Chains A and B, each alone.
Chain A
Amino acid sequence: MHDLVSFLPLVITCTGALLLMLYAVCPKAEQEKASLMSMGFFAVAFFAQLLVVCTVSRPLFPETFNGMLGVSGFTNAACLIVYACGFFTTLSSHTYFRENHFATVEFYSLLLFSAVGMVLLSMARELITAFIALEIMSLAIYVLVGFNRASSRSTEAIFKYLILGAFSGAFFCMGTAMIYGAAGSTRFDSIAEWLAFNPATTPLMLGGAFFLLITIFFKISAFPFHAWVLDVYDGSSNPITGFMATALKTAVFAMIANFLALSGNLHDSWITGLFWIAVFTMFGGNLIAIGQDNVKRMIAASGIVHSGYLLIALVAINSEYFSGAVIAYYLAAYSVATLGMFAALSWLGGEGEKRVTFDDFKGLAKRQPLAAATIAVFLLSMAGIPPTAGFMGKFYIITSAISAGQIALGVLGIISSIISMWYYLRLIVSMYFHDAEEDFIVDGSSLASISTVALAVAVFAIGLFPLVL
């Protein structure tokens, strides 16, 4: 019974998804009402999760459902982020679909389903559960990416993502099988026990972890599995891109952090590989981002860079005292900024996302000072300029890297963040330093504007009062 209490938010989300699915076949179903409903479900789930976090001081159930799932402070934080992302995504979709008319009620149902998958993934304490969660999440996301069937870009995106995603799913299965072959169990704690007496470099363990990591690197778009990101982010609708960039990454990072923190043995054997992947991810992402003149693609590429920073934190985690606070904080900071960016894009993008390049945003500061100011705040947070949340996140990551003895990685991380200033500044330059060419008339009462402002406030709030820690 206790199990169920800590899964209350998950149950709420799942029920919400099912109810929306049933609502979709009601003759009177309306898309706008559905968005409000799913907003409600996300909000209730978020507060239920908050309640679980606050009322349960120690992790009451380190593992539940026979060890398949586990709850810790870290997973709680990850779940909170996922729910919040879902909430703000529905807010911005509500606005987005006023100008773009391809949404149905199922859109929101699928959003909730993918959130279910994400939450399960971050709680997974067992590889098969992780795989199922990964697929629940991915399947829903595939459909969401390709939701705009009329758009050829969207079709291209879903095709690429589906084929490659299916491949990476197969790799995950393969890795699970090999680890099972080595350790004789798919449960994290049993694998940890096995690792305590055996080296992590036995061929099967090495191969298994290798395949698992390939899947993970694909999902978080780390080098060298990052090539799909630009097209897929570009092809999917603004709110979904935001959701993919934040919630999905949060869930996958939560899972891999839980896995790598299993045993120092395992972590040590991968540390060199992770080091180089982090470095290449950061600098590769930067190189790609510098060349973009489309805001969405730029944010997509900068998402690669942020995965690189998170990989730094993965390199630096200490399996004995793993709390995940640094990773959770960075994910929260990154999610707030990125979601805000996409909320703003949904708000200003207009019909058929006509405003997406740097040039389209010229002179925004004059016509829409509030929008420009919030976008500037998000960009500065992503770039890690104090006193925003992004700075604090980067600060924690660099601190943890240096305390783990990875000074070189810390320095490289900061250098990369300096390079990234270049393309963030470009957007600020075109918003503030150029004259407007159009009026940026946007639909009147748009909820996305509220979410944009709320997120901009959150950037500072999280930055100055980091409660997560």
Chain B
Amino acid sequence: MDQLLLNSGFPILSVLIFLPMLGALVLLLIKDEENCRWTALAFTTVVALLSLTLLSGFDSTTARFQFVEMRPWIEAFNINYTVGVDGISILLLLLTTLIMPFCVLVSWTYIKKRVRAFMICMLIMETAMIGVFVALDFVLFYVMWEAMLIPMYLLIGIWGGPRRIYASVKFFLYTLAGSVLLLVAIIWLYMQNGYSFFIPDMMWQSYSTSAQMFLFLAFFLAFAIKVPMFPFHTWLPAAHVEAPAAGSVILASLLLKMGAYGFLRFALPITPEATAIMMPWVLWLSIIGIIYGGFTALAQSDMKKLIAYSSVGHMGFITLGIFTLNLDGIEGAVLQMINHGVTTGALFLCIGMIYERTHSRDIESATGIGKYMPVYITFFTFFSLAAFAFPGTNGFVGEFMIIAGTFKYSLSQGNFPWLALASIPGAVLAAAYMLRMLQRKIWGREHNPDNSWLKEHDLNIREIITLAPFLLFVLWVGLAPKPFLNIMHSSVSALVQNFATCQAKAVAIAGTILN
């Protein structure tokens, strides 16, 4: 229990989890569509503001879990309702709560049918996502992890594009199949740990190497599909393209982070030995993902698909950072998770705004709009620059740290830094496909479709309010990333340290056996 800082006062995490749920229930009583929108916005905003108060109470000098609440839930199986945050999850939690109000805002006019049901889905989604990031009990985690699928499935399936049914079913079955072995792994760990589902208890135990390999594979399958890593990514473009704007934002900014978070929270601490064994493979898989995502994005004419494939590449960078297993790499990866959430989320919002006007996601149909929509294109340019890690934007900081971590890893192994070198073309490709899209949108031949009518339809106040905070964040992290790094520093360095001791112990044990 020494990893916990119990929360004696206001149960803030529970409130954060269940407030959106309450909002969904309140929405059931509201008939009017306009009121539904306002209620959903009110609830998500209150949650966002409440979550900001976490920062004031958060102690960033310790790696322990904070604001912990613990209540018995199902006593027969020793399942508890345990929640808490550390330096890694608090950032993702804040990302979730802060992005949700903007998702509601962008759906204001985008969603025209069944507004109430849409908002209910969004709020339930928020509950589940917050739950995933704060759960410290494995059953609670799994419940939230799976519960997330249903609202997302409905979001894609009801409000999605023409091929929404295919996309939603594929998304559902793919991600569900990924968690098959996760449940088995959870139950196995439960048996091993004296019948406890408490996550911190499971970390840094010395399970046998073969057991670790099995656990790692179970984790890997679940999380790699969610991330998605290279061979498991095929659900992503389909889901992204068909989802409504808010759905794409949630998918890209938050859902994909779950996989990376899973690696950090479970795979590394619970199966350190297996991670060390599998590390090179995962690293090269990440590199393949980066290059593959880049090339595929370059070939897309659909803007949403382009961003979707670029996500595959960016997530490749994140897993690369995580599996370098040193401080720089992991801190960079966590930072990049936040960055990617913000930048890609913002890009999807931008595309959603164009789609709302032209009803097309084709790059060709949006050529030359820079002339007519100057405000829009300004925002769009900044986010695109951030997406290919232009210095001064947030993407640069994250990718720089990850590549630095990769160099360090190779050098510490005494190898030539092939990995880091291999990841560089990914960054170049990102610049290529982003600039290609940007160029066409700003200067492209305008006579193709006549977009001059858009002159009257530049961004309105609501849309500017939606995008401005994202821009602020892009520049803030780009120019002064220190506060963010501070929050996660203790947790990440504890993770790296524990990992190193575990490795040393394993080596020592192996040594004694050999002698």
Q: List residues of chain A with CB under 8 Å of any chain B CB.
A: 325, 365-366, 369, 380, 385-387, 391-392, 395-396, 398-399, 402-403, 407, 410-411, 414-415, 418, 421-422, 425, 429, 432-433, 466, 469
Contact = CB atoms under 8 A, between A and B. Distances in A.
A391 B146 contact: yes
A369 B117 contact: yes
A396 B180 contact: no
A43 to B, nearest CB: 28
Contact of A387 (B114, B147, B169, B191): B147
B37 interface: no
Interface in B6-31: none
A279 B491 CA distance: 44
Given A380-B150, A386-B143, 9 more contacts: A387-B143, A402-B187, A407-B188, A414-B181, A421-B176, A429-B165, A433-B164, A433-B168, A466-B76
Contacts of A366: 114
B183 A395 contact: yes
A407 B186 CA distance: 12
Nearest to B76: A469
Given A385-B147, A466-B76, A411 B184 contact: yes
Interface string B136-148: 0001001110110
* Residue of A380, A385, A407, A422 with highest tally of chain B CB at under 10 A: A385
A415 B180 contact: yes
Nearest to A387: B143
Contacts of B144: 386
Contact of B188 (A402, A422, A425): A402
A399 B187 contact: yes
23 contacts: A365-B158, A369-B117, A380-B150, A385-B146, A386-B143, A386-B144, A391-B146, A392-B74, A396-B77, A398-B183, A402-B187, A410-B184, A411-B180, A411-B181, A415-B180, A418-B176, A418-B177, A418-B180, A421-B176, A422-B173, A425-B153, A433-B165, A469-B76
Interface in B482-507: none
Contacts of A411: 180-181, 184
B108 interface: no
Nearest to A468: B76
Contacts, number: 76
Given A369-B117, A396-B77, A421 B143 contact: no
Given A387-B147, A429-B169, A466 B183 contact: no
B157 A398 contact: no
Contacts of A396: 77
B311 to A, nearest CB: 25
B298 interface: no
A387 B190 CA distance: 19
Interface string B172-197: 11001100110110011011000000
B430 to A, nearest CB: 35
A398 B180 contact: no
Given A399-B190, A421-B172, A433 B183 contact: no
Interface of B: 74, 76-77, 114, 117, 139, 142-144, 146-147, 149-150, 153-154, 157-158, 164-165, 168-169, 172-173, 176-177, 180-181, 183-184, 187-188, 190-191
Contact of B169 (A369, A407, A425): A425
Given A432-B158, A466-B76, A414 B165 contact: no
Contacts of B176: 418, 421
A387 B17 CA distance: 14
B72 to A, nearest CB: 11
B157 A432 contact: yes
A355 B154 CA distance: 23
Nearest to B154: A432
A459 to B, nearest CB: 13
* Residue of A380, A407, A425 with highest tally of chain B CB at under 10 A: A425
Contacts of B117: 369
Contacts of A385: 146-147, 149-150
Contacts of A466: 74, 76
A403 B168 CA distance: 35
Contacts of B158: 365, 432-433
B143 A399 contact: no
B187 A433 contact: no
A327 to B, nearest CB: 14
Contacts of B188: 402, 407
A212 B187 CA distance: 33
A415 to B, nearest CB: 6
B191 A414 contact: no
A206 to B, nearest CB: 33
A392 B173 CA distance: 20
Nearest to A400: B187
A468 to B, nearest CB: 9
B173 A386 contact: no
Nearest to A410: B184
